[in-house]
Amino acid sequence: MNCTDFLAKLSDFFDGTIDPALLDEVKAHLCSCHHCEVVVDTTRHTIDFYRADQQFDLPEPVADKLRSAIMDRCRTLGKPEKQIRFNPGTAPRESLEKH
């Protein structure tokens, strides 16, 4: 297995969906190729960083207001002039910041 072959299998390797018959070859390549080892290590870090950082929270008070606005719109379905939108500007200040 060369680096190009390895790269083609990278996502399957991360996702645990790689053909078991190829797993030993992939592991052997990783042991012998420092560049691919770095790519695996840094790509894994990339995914982990985003999983940890990009968990956008929706505070309960904002969720309540959004839900209330959604349900008001649904109940007035078919009457666009009566549709009510939740104005984010009216949300508590903390709701507009990233948590």
Partner 1 sequence: MVELAKAGDTGAFETLVRKYERQIFRTAQHITQNREDAEDITQDVFFKAFQKLDQFQGNSKFSTWLVRIAVNESLMRLRKRKTSKTVSMDQDVETDEGSIPRDFAEWRPNPEQNFSQSEMGEILRKTIAGLPPGFRTVFTLRDIENLSTEETAEALGLSVPAVKSRLLRARLQLRERLSRYFRKTNEAPK
Which run of H or E residues covers position 8? helix 3-8
Least Å distance between CB 83 and partner 1?
Answer: 8
Binding positions for partner 1, rule: CB under 8 A:
7, 10-12, 14-15, 34-35, 38-39, 41-43, 45-47, 49-51, 53-56, 58, 62-63, 66-67, 69-71, 73-75, 77, 85-86, 88, 91, 96, 98
Spell out the residues 6+ positions from residue 94 whose beta carbon is closer than 8 angstroms to its own.
59
The number of beta carbons lying within 10 Å of the beta carbon of residue 6 is: 20
Least Å distance between CB 24 and partner 1?
Answer: 21
Least Å distance between CB 41 and partner 1?
Answer: 7
How far, in Å, CA of 7 to CA of 25, rounded?
13
